[in-house]
Amino acid sequence: MKPNKISFIDYRGKDADMKLTEIARELDLEPLTPEILSDASPDITAGYVSDLLSDVLAHAPAQGVLVTVQVHMNVIAVAVHANLTAVIFAADRRPEPPVIEKAMAEKITLFVSKDSSFAIVGKLYSMGLRGPCA
């Protein structure tokens, strides 16, 4: 593997990016923006967890997935600015309809999980997803 590259690692030790649909299925995520979720969605190569949006701006990897409990409009603005592909809202937290509408307009896929952020990240890690060391 190349240094400083963040990716999934499969059992053979090779890079193995994963589709959002695969992540959603494995984690039993509820899609909030199913209209933009498809097998043609970009590969996810990294993840990040934080509730501090300035931290997300500074450290979240592009084309990654964010796990957070924040559900307000600024999450979408930060996801767009950080070039994220998707956001998973933990602990069954749900954004208001205007937030979902903005995500749709910006092509940011949104999910809800009943699991805690800690549990979600553990599952993503066990699937091989890694994130940057901030």
Domain count of the fold of the chain: 1
Helix locations, 69-116, DSSP H: 73-81, 97-106
Domain region containing 80: 30-126
Residue 3 included in any domain: no
Residue 48 lies in a domain: yes
Query: What are 83-128's pLDDT values in tens digits?
Result: 999 999 999 999 999 999 999 999 999 999 999 999 999 999 999 9
Give φ, ψ of 45 to 5 degrees. Answer: -115, -5
Residue 132 within any structural domain of the chain = no
Task: Give a yes or no: residue 17 inside a domain.
Answer: no
In this structure, what are the phi and psi dihedrals at residue 111, rounded to the nearest 5 degrees?
A: -135, 160
Cα–Cα distance, 27 to 42 (Å, whole number): 18
CATH number for 101: 3.40.1390.20
* Confidence (pLDDT) at 39: 64
Q: Give the amino acid at 85.
A: T
Model pLDDT for residues 35-69, shown as the tens digit of each residue? 998 766 778 989 999 999 999 999 999 999 999 99
Q: What is the pTM of this model?
A: 0.87
